[in-house]
């Protein structure tokens, strides 16, 4: 059984969000809100942000493929921004002049079973 940072069981939403994040293909991105919606909690974007911060290393998540709804990297310069940008660029993602990722081009549609809305 997978556990949270305190050793307890993961919530159903967290399990689903981890599954969605792990499924994002190279060269694609999802927004925090879209991850949350696909995991069954459309208003859970902040929760996705927290779980990425707490669990990316432990669960070997492709954290760099999750961006904000404006198509931008949320991390600040010198606090992970440069690494995330470099990882995305290495996967073929192109940035506009104002460092935006075109969601219409790079946003993944999600898993075949579009979502887990029953939460």
In a domain? residue 31: yes
Mean pLDDT, rounded, of the chain: 91
| Overall domain count for the chain | 1
CB-based contacts of 8, cutoff 8 Å, min separation 6: none
* 112: in domain: no
Q: Is residue 3 part of a domain?
A: no
Residue 116 located in a structural domain:
no
Kindly report the CATH number assigned to the domain that includes residue 30. Answer: 1.10.10.10
Beta pairing partners, 107: 29
Residue 116's pLDDT is what?
Answer: 55
Cβ–Cβ < 8 Å for 4, 53: no
- Among the listed residues 56, 36, 63, the one whose alpha carbon sits nearest the alpha carbon of residue 47: 36
pLDDT digits (tens, 9 = 90+) for 17-69: 999 999 999 999 999 999 999 999 999 999 999 999 999 999 999 999 999 99
Q: What is the pTM of this model?
A: 0.89
- pLDDT bin (cut points 50, 70, 90) of residue 113 is low
Distance from chain centroid for Cα 80:
15
Q: Domain span at residue 98?
A: 12-106
Domain membership flag for residue 117? no
């Amino acid at each position: 059984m997978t556990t949270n940072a305190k050793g307890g069981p993961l919530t159903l939403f967290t399990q689903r969000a981890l599954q969605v994040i792990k499924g994002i293909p190279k060269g694609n991105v999802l927004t925090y809100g879209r991850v949350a919606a696909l995991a069954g909690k459309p208003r859970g974007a902040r929760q996705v942000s927290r779980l990425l911060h707490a669990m990316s290393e432990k669960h070997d998540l492709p954290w760099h493929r999750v961006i904000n709804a404006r198509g931008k990297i949320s991390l600040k310069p010198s606090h992970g921004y440069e690494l995330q940008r470099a990882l995305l660029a290495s996967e073929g993602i192109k940035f506009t002049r104002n460092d935006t990722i075109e969601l219409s081009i790079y946003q993944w549609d999600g898993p075949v079973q579009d979502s887990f809305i029953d939460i």
